[in-house]
Amino acid sequence: MPNPDKPRTDTVLKVGIVGCGAISRNHLEAFAAAEGAEVTVVCDIDPDRARETAAQYGVPEAVGSVAELLATGVDIVSVCTPHPTHEEVVLAAAAAGVHVLCEKPVAVDLASAQRMTEACDAAGVQLGVLFQRRFWPAAQEMKQALTPGHLGEPVLGQCTVLLHRDPTYYSATPWRGTWDSDGGGVLMTQAIHYIDLMVWMMGEPVEVTGRIATFTHDIEVEDTAVATVTFASGALATITATTAADTSLGARVQVTASSGATRAILEYPEGTDGRAVLRAVDGTVTTTPDYPADLVANADLRTINGALIPHHTAQVADFVDAVRQGREPAVTGHDATRSLAVLLAVYESSRTGAPVRLSGEATR
Ligand SMILES: NC(=O)c1ccc[n+]([C@@H]2O[C@H](COP(=O)([O-])OP(=O)(O)OC[C@H]3O[C@@H](n4cnc5c(N)ncnc54)[C@H](O)[C@@H]3O)[C@@H](O)[C@H]2O)c1
């Protein structure tokens, strides 16, 4: 997609986007802004959708299968298909020696995530996974504050995700809301972003206890969940998540460190930048109002996804640079597997009623 305003490099990496649904716009715009990369082909199993997307964004080619897309000789594949289909696309890209940036969740079960990371490691290609909220300036700053020499080791975390989804969110998209085609509910699709932030800040999770429930939506999977997480350091955290709230109250990640200092970030309304809303350090408390009165709480999904574009852009820029420099991207397939392991353990614990120990393999 030619963009005359962006800086040029000698070689331009060719990018193919697989899946031309709601989130593909974020990838198309993010790669359009990225230095040294250009979307040269889009793919969808619905050929009309692929053609329309190509026409709308000025992409030279539209194809109907991943094999055709890989045959065009791309350097990077961006995966924007429903979660359970991520694996087949990632494995095909790895087999072709192509770097992959995959939407979250990387997969819907651990064996699948591990096959993906192993295939990419063996092929020597980068696997990055979209957790664009890590690129909020407030998240980067909070992560930095929790490193040794600053506030001390994290000891207590709280991850609270209170969202609204209209019933049509589940009914209008056929793959949403079932265990087979969606892999889970609020934990798998929404809370995973904030679980990822918490795990990123707190370290290696080792044990999870949780319960899930479906209160409001007419879906197989959970619309509500609670859990506790124990980390290798001994730190403890809680997760509370729902899409059954009548009014979205956003998502908050709060961490208390061994010094006794507490920091929190809040994303409200959904889709906007997470803001540092609480700093309680050395007896001094700074807060910003949690809930400004004059805003739309339940924005539509297109608005929410649109508001995420700057963060997709930051993560895509990091991924393109990682490929160019031959370094790991900021969020790897292994990181994404670790966050996935936590929420899958909530499902298992809810099923069995027992705590679930996480295997080091998945969570390191
Ligand atoms: N990072 C974020 O904040 C964020 C936000 C929304 C969605 N997502 C993720 O993006 C992924 C897609 O979500 P969406 O809302 O765009 O879904 P969507 O249903 O709007 O779009 C999916 C598209 O993929 C196509 N498709 C399905 N299987 C395919 C295949 N094998 N090959 C090619 N195309 C195929 C479908 O025809 C459809 O056009 C999901 O994994 C979701 O979790 C991430």
In terms of phi and psi (left: phi > 0; alpha: psi -120 to 50; beta: otherwise), the region of 246 is alpha
**CATH 3.30.360.10 domain range(s) in the chain:** 134-299+338-363
C-alpha 198 – ligand 1 centre gap (Å): 25
Distance 175 CA to ligand 1 centre (A): 10
Nearest protein CA to atom 6 of ligand 1, as residue? 23
Predicted local confidence at residue 9, as pLDDT: 59
Distance 174 CA to ligand 1 centre (A): 12
- Give yes or no for residue 306 having a pLDDT over 80: yes
Q: How confident is the model at residue 29 (pLDDT cuts 50, 70, 90)?
A: very high
Which residue has the CA at smallest separation from atom 38 of ligand 1?
Answer: 21
* Cα–Cα distances in angstroms (integers) from residue 240 to residues 50, 158, 346, 356, in the given order: 38, 8, 11, 18
How far is it, in rounded angstroms, from Cα 4 to Cα 297?
Answer: 37
| Sequence-ordered list of residues with C-beta below 8 angstroms from that of 326, at least 6 positions apart, any chain | none
Is the CB of residue 72 below 6 angstroms from any atom belonging to ligand 1? no
Residue nearest ligand 1's atom 4 by CA:
23
pLDDT at 66 over 90: yes
Ligand 1, atom nearest to 24 Cα: 16
192 touches 108 (CB < 8 A)? no
Q: Is the CB of 307 under 6 A from ligand 1?
A: no
Ligand 1 within 6 A of CB of 172 = no
CATH architecture designation of domain 134-299+338-363: 2-Layer Sandwich (3.30)
pLDDT at residue 297, rounded to an integer: 76
What is the residue-wise DSSP string for 209-227? EEEEE--SSS-SS-SEEEE
Q: Which ligand 1 atom is nearest residue 81's CA?
A: 24
Q: What is the mean pLDDT of residues 7-15?
A: 78
- pLDDT band at 44; cut points 50, 70, 90: very high
- CB contact at 8 A, 316 and 101: yes
CB 82 less than 6 A from any atom of ligand 1: yes
**pLDDT value of residue 68:** 98
pLDDT by residue (tens digit) across 109-146? 999 999 999 999 999 999 999 999 999 999 999 999 99
Contacts of residue 296, Cβ cutoff 8 Å, sequence gap at least 6: 269
Q: Which residue from 49, 51, 81 has its CB within 8 A of the most atoms of ligand 1, so it is best to mutate?
A: 81
Taking residue 184's Cβ as centre, other Cβ atoms within 10 Å add up to: 26
Nearest CA to ligand 1 atom 5: 23
**pLDDT at residue 7 in the model:** 54
Q: What is the DSSP string of 258-309?
A: TTS-EEEEEE-STTSPPEEEEEEETTEEEE--SS-SSS-SS--HHHHHHHTH
Domain limits, CATH 3.40.50.720, in the chain: 13-132+312-332
Q: What is the pLDDT of residues 146-168, one digit of tens each?
A: 988 888 999 999 999 999 999 99
Answer yes or no: is the C-beta of 22 below 6 A from any ligand 1 atom. Answer: yes
The sign one gets for the Cα dihedral 331, 164, 347, 263 is positive
Which of 2-11, 141-150, 323-332 has the weakest average pLDDT? 2-11
Compute the distance from residue 81 Cα to the ligand 1 centre, in Å: 3
> What ranges in the chain are assigned the alpha helix state H?
24-33, 47-57, 66-71, 86-95, 110-123, 137-145, 167-171, 179-182, 186, 192-202, 301-307, 309-325, 333-352, 360-363
Q: Burial level of 282, CB count in 10 A (0-12/13-18/19+)?
A: exposed
Query: Which ligand 1 atom is at minimum distance from the Cα of 175?
Result: 19
Model pLDDT for residues 205-256, shown as the tens digit of each residue: 999 999 999 999 999 999 999 999 999 999 999 999 999 999 999 999 999 9
Residue 293 pLDDT grade (very low, low, confident, very high; cuts 50, 70, 90): low
Q: What is the mean pLDDT of the chain?
A: 94
The domain defined by 13-132+312-332 folds into Rossmann fold (3.40.50)
Instruction: Indicate if ligand 1 lies below 6 Å from the C-beta of 44.
Output: yes
Rounded CA-CA distance 59/311 in Å is 22
Q: Looking at residue 196, what is its pLDDT?
A: 98
